[in-house]
Amino acid sequence: MRDPVVLLVEDDPAHAELAFRSLASVKVAVHCVDTLASAREWLSRGSADVVLADLRLPDGSALELTSFPLVIMTSQGDEERAVAAMKGGALDYVVKSREMYRDLPIIVERALRAARAYGDKLRAESSLRESEERFRQLADTIEQAFWLYDVREERMIYASPAFPRVYGVAAAAANGSELARLSFVHPDDLTRIRDGAAREQQTHEFRVVSSGKTIWVEERTFPIADDGGRPFRIAGLGHDVTERRELESSLRQAHKMEAIGQLAGGIAHDFNNMLTAIRSEERRVG
């Protein structure tokens, strides 16, 4: 593991030497430049874990480096400027003195910890944004409607863009109480899908009635338990299977008609056999 890198931005050789001597007691790699421009150039080519910079530089102010993990050093204390620097993103604001140089290793170590914590926060936020983006892309792309229902608050907390297309109603229509969430379900199917929905994983098909149109939905529900094992949310995936149900119904009807046809054909065959036997008997008698 490499030593932390400290970029020292100091145009006064005496102060630069004091900083070098102070930091020699800790395991850090110190690089020194003497202008704001050279600091920017160095940072464009490499990375620094902490930038330790004099406030006033020949070509500008170190406050222009607050996009980096920055500790401001100044020869004169200025409370208002210190507050502004900290609000602007500086990790620390210290006044040059014998005590400051003595404590510089502690100051740098404190800044390193703050920079690491800030970096961890940025990475966590970036990871969260990436995760949310992947979830959004998935939810926007899949044909199934995905939803989350809060059992305790009795309200829908998320419905994917496919929800209105699959269920035939806007997501807002499913918000609110348990009754409102299931209000779009056909009355004959309501009890069947509600019983046990919050207690166990289920796959069921039911009818949705919207604007006089009936839609068949295949839905899979997944209870989500808290640390105590109690379901507090339900995740659901819904898929419009109306066309499949209609095809199955047509197929069943075709099979039924085929069976009736076979039965009728068998009866006709038996009837013809009977007629043939009767006619044969009549000819024999006659």
Cβ neighbours around 70 below 10 Å, total: 26
The pLDDT value given to residue 265: 61
**Amino acid (one-letter) located at 185:** V
Q: Are 50 and 111 in contact (CB under 8 A)?
A: yes
The pLDDT value given to residue 31: 94
Burial (0-12, 13-18, 19+ Cβ within 10 Å), 133 = exposed
Question: What is the DSSP secondary structure assignment for residue 89, as one 8-state letter?
Answer: T
In degrees and rounded to multiples of 5, residue 281 shows phi and psi of -70, -40
pTM: 0.56
- Stated length of the chain: 286
The pLDDT value given to residue 159: 84
Q: Tell me what percent of the chain is helix, strand and coil, each rounded to the nearest 5.
A: 50, 25, 25
**Running along the chain, 286 residues long, what does each successive block of 10 average in pLDDT?**
90 94 92 95 91 93 90 83 84 92 94 89 90 86 86 83 81 59 79 64 84 85 88 88 77 63 62 65 61
